[in-house]
Chains A and B, each alone.
Chain A
Amino acid sequence: MSFFDYLFLFGGMGLVTYLPRWLPLFYLAHRNLPQWLIDWLRLIPVAILCALLAPILFTDQSLRTLEPGKAEFLVGIPTLLFALKTKSLGGTVLVGMGLFWLSGYIV
């Protein structure tokens, strides 16, 4: 692929990525949102994080089937406990990586 092929592809991807990020900010931040919408939006981060995590923790992502008790989930439990205890994001990432790496040798 040439320079312009890449420029077209990445430019297009960039545009469709930027628009959904930009539109709500541009149009919503100058208005007072109704209370029900604010209440609903407050729940969105938890919902998105769990939706992103759901298949990682509970399914086989190459076959797209249910897989209870996979390493990602089992390692997640002590990782969550560490986060609860320390409230440290960076530390939790390190502990999670370390435990997951070790789990590769045990399983």
Chain B
Amino acid sequence: MASWPICFGYIPIGLALGVLARQEDIPVWAVTMMSILVFAGSAQFICVAMLAAGASPWSIILTTFIVNLRHFLMSSAVAVHLNGLRRRLLSLFAYGITDESFAVNMTHFKKGNWDFQRAITVNQLSNMAWVISTTCGALLGQFIPTGAFGTDYALTAMFLALLLFQLHDTIYVFTGIMALVIGVGWYLLIPGDSYILGASISAATLGFFFKRFREKQR
């Protein structure tokens, strides 16, 4: 049940990715292969754009690495809740960590009504939805005009909702505002995608010190 919003969020994005990939003459089987091997939405969009621009495989791989380094933080955060689990299962779980599955799983882990079985189900169902929808998108090809029915806002709306569900007290609100301000500034001043890592690490650190400072005041 917890995974259907992710699946629903993935379908328009997956379709869009498939359509875009076909427009760049990437074969349908290659789209499926990419979704299975990589399973990272933003990096796959960047890959399609870079292939279209004639970039070399090595530069695409390096860009993917930088874009997806943020999962290191997410994986570290989710590790707290999977303490003592068998390593084989953890290795399987790692494959399914995305921005979306992470946000959903973390929200439930924090509420306390969550376990590994449910978390990995979320991961695998969203992976399935992703592979199927990107493949369908590639098959549908040029029949879908991009941005129809607000599909280009699906991810933004989902991030907004997930963000709201995470705001438990003032420290979280403070951290969020800091990340927005630093994020905009960093994005405007420094080219590339380093703003994601840069803003989130600095905002979380500021939030952490804000929490410590408040604890001392009491």
CB-based contact B150/A45 at 8 Å: no
User: Quick check: which of B127-135, B137-145, B203-211 contacts chain A, the rest being far away?
Assistant: B203-211
Contact of A12 among B61, B159, B196, B208 (CB under 8 A): B61
B74 surroundings in chain A (CB, below 8 A): 21, 44-45, 48
> Shortest CB–CB separation between residue B35 and chain A, in angstroms?
9
Identify the closest chain B residue to A15 (Cβ): B61
Contact of A47 among B60, B72, B103, B176 (CB under 8 A): B176
Within 8 Å of chain B (Cβ to Cβ): is A84? Answer: yes
Q: Can you sample 16 A-B contacts with CB below 8 Å?
A: A6-B33, A17-B39, A24-B76, A28-B80, A29-B84, A32-B83, A40-B205, A42-B77, A43-B204, A46-B163, A46-B207, A50-B183, A59-B188, A89-B165, A92-B157, A93-B154
Contact of B179 among A13, A46, A66 (CB under 8 A): A46
CA distance in complex: A95, B150 (Å): 10
Within 8 Å of chain B (Cβ to Cβ): is A106? Answer: no
> Shortest CB–CB separation between residue A69 and chain B, in angstroms?
14
Q: Which residues of B contact A (CB under 8 A)?
A: 4-5, 8-9, 12, 30, 33-34, 37-40, 43, 47, 57-58, 60-62, 64-65, 68-80, 82-85, 87, 90-91, 93-95, 97, 99, 102-104, 106, 147, 149-154, 156-167, 171-172, 175-184, 187-188, 191, 195-201, 203-205, 207-208, 211
B87 surroundings in chain A (CB, below 8 A): 26, 30
> Shortest CB–CB separation between residue B183 and chain A, in angstroms?
3
A1 surroundings in chain B (CB, below 8 A): 30
Given A9-B61, A21-B94, A59-B188, the answer on whether A47 and B199 have CB atoms closer than 8 Å is: yes
CB-based contact A54/B180 at 8 Å: yes
B60 surroundings in chain A (CB, below 8 A): 9, 13
4 new A-B contacts, CB < 8 A, other than A75-B153, A99-B153, are A20-B65, A46-B172, A47-B207, A54-B181
Contact of B97 among A21, A44, A83, A92 (CB under 8 A): A21
Contact of B160 among A10, A22, A64, A96 (CB under 8 A): A96
> Shortest CB–CB separation between residue B153 and chain A, in angstroms?
4
CA distance in complex: A12, B166 (Å): 34
Given A16-B68, A48-B73, A50-B176, the answer on whether A25 and B83 have CB atoms closer than 8 Å is: no
B162 surroundings in chain A (CB, below 8 A): 49, 89
